[in-house]
Amino acid sequence: MPADIDHHELTTTRRTVQSFEMLQASPAAQWPAAPGEADARCGVPLARVKQALARFGDGRPALVIDVARVRYNARRFAAAMPSVRPHYAVKANSDRRVLQALAQQGVGFEIASSTELDLVRSIGVPAAEILYSNPVRATGAIEYAARRGVEWYAIDCVQELGKFAALKPDAKLYLRIETSNEGSDWPLSGKFGAGEADIDPIIEEAVRLKLDVAGVTFHVGSQCRNPENWRTATRSARAVFERLTRAGLRPRLLDLGGGYPVQLTEATPSIEAIGTLIGQELAQFNRDIEVIAEPGRFMVADAGCFVAHVIGTALRHGQRWMHWDAGVFGGLFETIDGLRYNLHAERDGVRVPWYVAGPTCDSVDVCMRDQLLPENIVEGDSIYVLNAGAYTTACASQFNGFALPQVIVIDTRTD
């Protein structure tokens, strides 16, 4: 037995695998019908959000997240893609209680840093269940992950291979390839992903260094509403599998990445429709290939409702402005690149266009333009940002001295 793996960890690994087998077998029961229009657009009943704020709120902006919905989303993902093992992208929401709920469902984890590694290991997740999908890491980060027992690492360039030859020559590497992000609300192509001309040099260098390039991965873009991206990417990955095999390597992992969408303001394909398409493409692979995915937003977005408070209104140059106690720097970072959320206000006035800004003195801190909200909103009102459990508190900072949002975790199946 390796020195860094003890009997407790092996037992935990077996339990995790057993949990995933149970997850695969369990039906994704229908989520209860929503009682109202706002609830129909939100995965967490607004009445429960308000109850949680009344009991636990401390006056700050807050994310109320329901771990019952997180568990439901894990079951739904597994039902839609029964041959695909989900590895949750920790960056989407790293709250420990969310991670524990997913681990209890047999979900694996995908990390991007030593801090995320420590967090996941601290809840008892075996190193074998963790994938390090950040394609470029500091030397010290690789050394640390290797000591902690991580086996799988993404790469997308020749330069990164030398680090593994020196630090962890027995690493299992998976090659991230570039693919279309067309139709995603938050494109990720450009920074990562080996282009067509990069792939053969990477393979040749890996062979020369006697490294194990054991798989292929891609990312179709965050909040991807174009299912064809998965078809294109999966076919490209199959072609890379063939090139790896011809070079004498043994590819055995297909990582479908993330991008699985949730319902926001635009029409969105269901996870079942995406799963059907992916299943058609997976039929072209050998059955002994392990297939995983890295859902982040899908697991947690509609499990959360972000609540901000109006701190003032203004009329400037004929334009209505509304200032909240949370903005781009306080949890609504993704709005800066155009991501739009459904909002709920408790007033029933005529809906008019507003510019919505955060509380900081930075002019970048403008979340929304021409957002339709009631004209009679005033200071002190609460605004509910629906399906905002992902990339809100995870991206919040204390810029300009403003407090981080509060996180309130509820369980609507046991509370």
Catalytic residue set: 361
Cα distance from N-terminal residue to C-terminal residue, the chain: 43
**Is residue 65 a contact partner of residue 42, using CB atoms and an 8 Å limit?**
no
Rounded CA separation 176/254 (Å): 10
Helix or strand (DSSP H, E) at 322? strand 319-324
174: β partners: 154, 215
Q: Which residue has the tokens 């949750």?
A: 88
Nearest of 412, 363, 98, 200 to residue 109 by alpha carbon: 98
Rounded CA separation 403/399 (Å): 8
Rounded CA separation 365/241 (Å): 45
Residues 6+ apart with CB under 8 A from 406: 56, 57, 58, 60, 61, 62, 63
Helices (H) and strands (E) in the chain, counts: 12, 18
Q: Which two tokens stand for residue 122?
A: 């601290």
**Collapsed DSSP state (helix, strand, coil) of residue 307:** strand
Burial class (CB in 10 A: 0-12, 13-18, 19+), 138: exposed
The DSSP call for residue 283 is T
The residue type of 259 is G
**Four-point Cα dihedral 110, 111, 115, 119, nearest 10:** 0
Helix or strand (DSSP H, E) at 16? helix 7-25
The number of angstroms, rounded, from the C-alpha of 399 to the middle of its chain's C-alpha atoms is: 24
Q: What angle do CA 190, 193, 194 make, to 5 degrees?
A: 115
The residue type of 178 is E
Characterize 242-272 residue by residue with b for buried, 16 or more Cβ atoms within 10 angstroms of its Cβ, and e for exposed.
eebeeeebebbbbbbbbbbbbbbeeebbebe
